[in-house]
Amino acid sequence: MYFEYRFILVSGTGSLMNRKDSDFVGSLRRVVGDAFVLEDRERVSDYLKERRGRFTSDTMAVVLPGSTDEVSQLIKLCRERRVPMVPQGGNTGVCGGAVSTERSIIVNLQRMNRIRKVDRLGYTLEAEAGCILSNLQMAAQDKGLYLPLSLGAEGSCQIGGNLSTNAGGVNVLRYGNARDLVLGVEVVLPSGEVWNGLNALRKNNTGYDLKNVFIGAEGTLGIITAAVLKLFPQPVHRSTVLIAVTSIDSAVELFSRTRKETSDFASSFELMSRICVEAAFRNIPGCRDFFDQPYPWYVLMELGDSTSDGISKQLNERFLEHAFEDGLIEDAVLASSDKQASDMWRLREAIVEAQLYEGKSIKNDVSVPLGAIKPFIERTVAALEARVPGARSFVYGHIGDGNIHFNLSQPRDMDGDEFFSRWHEMTDIVHEITDELDGSFSAEHGIGLLKTREMLRYKSAVELGLLRSFKAALDPDNIMNPGKVIPPAE
Ligand code: FAD
Ligand code: 2HG
Ligand code: ZN
C-alpha cells in the first residue's frame, strides 16, 4: 500500500499531505523543475475550478511539464507509485473531465505551447497540445490559411483538450468536428512510452486508425502531447444573416434548402429560441435585438468562400429571396459589415454566459436526426413543464448538426438546491426522448464524470465491454484519469 497515514502540513498550502506524498512530489519536482510543480492552494485554485459547480476538485499537486519527454517521465513515476493523474488543458470542459481528487496529480499542458510548423503547401499545422486554440487559428491566418475549429471557449481552451473532447463548435457543418480535422497525434501512453503518430498524410491506410482511439478519450487512455491538423483556404468573403422564423419546421426546412441552394457553402447554421436571446439582452452588455418585434426562433447562418469575386453574398441573397417568397422567413438581417456580423455572433455566444445569471442550470447536449428535431423539442418541453412547472427551457444549438443544447434554468420561485436535487429526474426525461428518437445523449461535450450514468444506461453491453477492454489493455493500473468516461461495472 503506497499511502501512509501520517499527515504533515505542507508549508504554506494549508493542506495535509503525508510523508510519502511529499517525497513523491519531490520526485515530480526533479522532472519538471521546482517552479512547475504547484501546491500552494491559491495557485492551484484555478486548476480546480469546475464550471458547473457540480463537482469538487482537489489535487496533490498541479504539474506543468515542458516537453513530451517530461510527460513520459511523470507518467512513469505515477505508474510506479500508482498515483492517478488527470490531464488538463484550459479547464473549460463542461462534463467534469478535468476534475481531480486529493490523491491525484493534475498534469496541465499549458507550457507545451509551441507551434512547430505551418505547411502552406500541404495545408497542415503541427503544434504541441498546450497551444490555445485561438493562437493556432491566428498562426494559420498569418499564412493565409484557416483552422476552422471554433467555439466560445477558444481564447482559453487548448488543442489537446479540444481533441480529447472531440470538440464541435460552430463550423462542424462544413468542416467536421475536431476528430475530422486531425491527421496525426503524438501520445504518451499510460506505460510512459511515446507513440509518435505525427504524420501529415491525407492517405495512410495501414491498419487500425489508432489516432481515433485517443481523440474523444478525455484523457483516459494517455496524454496527447502534439497533433498535426488539417488547414483550409482562408474564407475571405463571408455572408452572415440572422433570420427570424415562427416554427422549428421552417428552420429545419431552411437548412435543407440552404445545402442545395448555396452548394453546401454554409459553415454555420445555429438555432436560438427567444428565451435565449432575451437572457442575452438582459444580462450581457452590448447584446441587442436586430428586429423591431420578437419572434419565437432565430437562425444564424454564415457562408464563406475564398473565390476572387466572393460568391457567398450573392448565394445568400438568392437563397433568402426564395425563402421569403415561399413564406419560410418572417424577417432577416443580412450583415452589412464585419462589425454587424460579429454582433450577431456575440449574441449567439453570449447565451452560455447569460444563462449563468438566470440561476442554477441543468445542461443537456443532445443530437437527433434532423427530421426528429421538432418532435424532440416539442415533446421534451411539454414533458418537462408537466414534471417541473416553471422550469425554463433554453433551447439553442448547432441544428445543422442536429445538435441541440437543451438547457434548463431553475423556476423563478424554486430554490436552486431543490432544483439541482431533481437533476436526474429532468435529464432522464431529456435523454429518454432523445433515445426514442435515435439520438445521442452527448453530441459534443463528452462524458467526463457527468454522464457515466448515461453510458451505463444507453450503451450496449457489447460496447461497454469493448470500452473496458481498451482501457484495461492500455491502462491496466487505472492511473490515467480514472472514473471518467467509462462507468464502473455494476
Ligand atoms: P479541459 O477542460 O482542460 O479538459 C477536457 C478533457 O480533456 C478532460 O477529460 C481532460 O482530462 C482531457 N484533456 C485535456 N487536455 C488533454 C491532453 N493534452 N491529453 C489528454 N487528455 C486531455 N464544446 C464544444 O464541443 N462545442 C462548443 O461550441 C463549445 N463551446 C463552449 C463554450 C464555452 C463558453 C465553454 C466554457 C465551453 C465550451 N465547450 C464547447 C466545451 C469544450 O469541450 C471545451 O471548451 C474544450 O474542448 C475543452 O478544452 P480544454 O483545453 O479546456 O480541456
Ligand atoms: C455552445 O454551443 C457550447 O455554445 C456551450 O457548446 C453550450 O454550455 C453550453 O450549454
Ligand atoms: Zn455547442
* Ligand 1 near 169 CB (within 6 A): yes
**Ligand 3 center to residue 167 CA distance, Å?**
9
Atom of ligand 2 at shortest distance to CA of 351? 4
Complete domains list, the chain, with CATH: 19-108 (3.30.43.10), 115-233 (3.30.465.10), 237-355 (3.30.70.2190), 359-436 (3.30.70.2740)
Summarize pLDDT for 263-321 with one digit per residue, the tens.
999 999 999 999 999 999 999 999 999 999 999 999 999 999 999 989 999 999 999 99
Summarize pLDDT for 17-70 with one digit per residue, the tens.
676 788 999 999 999 999 999 999 999 999 999 987 889 999 999 999 999 999
**Ligand 3 center to residue 233 CA distance, Å?**
24
Strand 403-409 vs strand 361-362: parallel, antiparallel, or unpaired? antiparallel
* Ligand 1 near 235 CB (within 6 A): no
* Ligand 2 near 363 CB (within 6 A): yes
Regions of the chain with pLDDT less than 70:
1-17, 19
Atom of ligand 2 at shortest distance to CA of 365? 10
Q: For residue 419, give the C-alpha cell.
A: 432544483
What is the rounded CA–CA span in Å between residue 195 and residue 198?
9
* Ligand 1 near 223 CB (within 6 A): yes
* Whole-number pLDDT of residue 382: 96
What is the rounded CA–CA span in Å between residue 101 and residue 41?
14
Ligand of minimum distance to the alpha carbon of 158: 1
Atom of ligand 1 at shortest distance to CA of 93? 2
* Ligand 2 near 51 CB (within 6 A): no
* Whole-number pLDDT of residue 273: 98
Question: Which are the contacts of 123, defined by CB distance < 8 A and separation ≥ 6?
Answer: 145, 230, 231, 232, 233
* Ligand 2 near 407 CB (within 6 A): yes
What is the rounded CA–CA span in Å between residue 332 and residue 300?
10
Burial of 430 (0-12, 13-18, 19+ CB in 10 A): buried
Ligand of minimum distance to the alpha carbon of 363: 2
**Ligand 1 center to residue 419 CA distance, Å?**
26
Shortest-distance Cα residue to atom 15 of ligand 1:
161
Please tell me whether residue 268 adopts helix, strand or coil conformation. Answer: strand
Contact 389, 422 (CB under 8 A): no
Atom of ligand 1 at shortest distance to CA of 352? 34
* Ligand 1 near 218 CB (within 6 A): yes
Burial of 35 (0-12, 13-18, 19+ CB in 10 A): exposed
* Ligand 2 near 443 CB (within 6 A): no
What is the rounded CA–CA span in Å between residue 112 and residue 462?
38
Nearest to 318 by CA among 263, 250, 281: 263
**Phi/psi of residue 385, nearest 5 degrees:** -65, -40
Atom of ligand 1 at shortest distance to CA of 225? 18
Ligand of minimum distance to the alpha carbon of 94: 1
Q: How many CB atoms lie within 10 A of CB 182?
A: 23
What is the rounded CA–CA span in Å between residue 299 and residue 332?
9
Contact 83, 39 (CB under 8 A): no
* Whole-number pLDDT of residue 17: 63
What is the rounded CA–CA span in Å between residue 472 and residue 102?
24
At 25, which helix (H) or strand (E)? helix 19-32
Atom of ligand 2 at shortest distance to CA of 403? 2
* Ligand 1 near 93 CB (within 6 A): yes
Contact 411, 392 (CB under 8 A): yes
State which of 78, 88, 177 you would mutate to test the pocket of ligand 1, scoring each by most atoms of that ligand within 8 A of its C-beta.
Answer: 88
**Phi/psi of residue 79, nearest 5 degrees:** -70, -45
* Ligand 1 near 166 CB (within 6 A): no
Q: What is the DSSP string of 377-394?
A: HHHHHHHHHHHSTT-EEE
* Ligand 1 near 68 CB (within 6 A): no
Nearest to 322 by CA among 237, 233, 262: 262
Q: For residue 484, give the C-alpha cell.
A: 471518467
Q: Which residues pair with 280 in a beta bridge?
A: none
Contact 146, 140 (CB under 8 A): yes
What is the rounded CA–CA span in Å between residue 144 and residue 232?
9
Shortest-distance Cα residue to atom 6 of ligand 2:
169
What is the rounded CA–CA span in Å between residue 160 and residue 60?
22
Ligand of minimum distance to the alpha carbon of 171: 1
Burial of 380 (0-12, 13-18, 19+ CB in 10 A): buried
Atom of ligand 2 at shortest distance to CA of 398? 2
Q: For residue 223, give the C-alpha cell.
A: 496524454
Atom of ligand 1 at shortest distance to CA of 163? 47
Ligand of minimum distance to the alpha carbon of 165: 1
* Ligand 1 near 90 CB (within 6 A): yes
The DSSP call for residue 65 is -
* Ligand 2 near 153 CB (within 6 A): no
What is the rounded CA–CA span in Å between residue 206 and residue 218?
25
Contact 481, 222 (CB under 8 A): no
Q: What is the DSSP string of 423-483?
A: HHHHHHHHHHHHHHTT-BSBSSS--TTTTHHHHHHHS-HHHHHHHHHHHHHH-TT--BSTT
Contact 239, 335 (CB under 8 A): yes
At 78, which helix (H) or strand (E)? helix 68-81
Atom of ligand 1 at shortest distance to CA of 130? 18
Summarize pLDDT for 431-446 with one digit per residue, the tens.
999 999 999 999 999 9
Residue 420 identity: F
At 419, which helix (H) or strand (E)? helix 416-421
Burial of 283 (0-12, 13-18, 19+ CB in 10 A): middle
**Ligand 2 center to residue 94 CA distance, Å?**
9
Q: For residue 281, give the C-alpha cell.
A: 439582452
**Ligand 1 center to residue 272 CA distance, Å?**
23
